[in-house]
Amino acid sequence: MISSRQRLAWAGLLASVAFAASAQTPPPAPAEAATAAPSAQHAPHMHKHGDRAQRMEKMKERQAKRMTELKTKLQLRADQEGAWSTFATSRQPPAAPPQRPDRDAFAKMTTPQRLDLMKEHQASRTMAFERRADATRSFYAALTPAQQKTFDAETLKMGPRGHGGPRGHHGPHDAKPAPTAS
């Protein structure tokens, strides 16, 4: 005699096997995948982000505007212009952003080769960050204490990559209101 618990367990097991079997459809042939047009589901996503060159141009324009506003707020003296120039140059986006590796070439690599490639890209990003950090420290040292305070407040708004702080445009999700004095 089979208990109701055992029946339920067997039914669940059979349902799981049936679901797994139905999910095992073969992937489309490479020729079909290469010639298939983007689906309507992907079209809005592709349109939303637009062309990479257009996005890069808009990013450069926003960066230039932020830098102009920052320079105005800092009220730099003539002797600080050289440090500003070095700092501003270090903040410029690269002329040609690094290209992602070709998917086919990446797929043909062994795992250690892919890891080596990723390590090279990471080392390149680290070197670029170090150059920006050094230029920022040099510029910061050339500022007066009042300018440093302004710089700290304004660059905090920019956050990582100019996205409005560590949690994006909206700030931290767990932000609590400042305590009020009683």
Average pLDDT by consecutive 10-residue portion of the chain (182 residues)?
63 56 52 48 49 82 90 94 92 72 86 91 91 94 95 81 47 48 51
Mark 69-92 as b/e (b = at least 16 C-beta within 10 Å).
ebeeebebeeebeebbebbbebbe
Write down the pLDDT at residue 22.
Answer: 52
DSSP 38-99: PPTTTHHHHHHH--HHHHHHHHHHHHHHHHHHHHHHHT--GGGHHHHHHHHHHTSPPSSPPP
Alpha-carbon distance 139 to 135, whole Å? 6
What is the model's pLDDT at position 126? 93
Alpha carbon dihedral 37, 39, 40, 46, in 10-degree steps, equals: -80
Residue 54: the pLDDT is 84
The predicted model scores a pTM of 0.56
Query: Can you give the residue ranges of every domain in the chain?
Result: 54-159
pLDDT at position 10, please?
A: 62
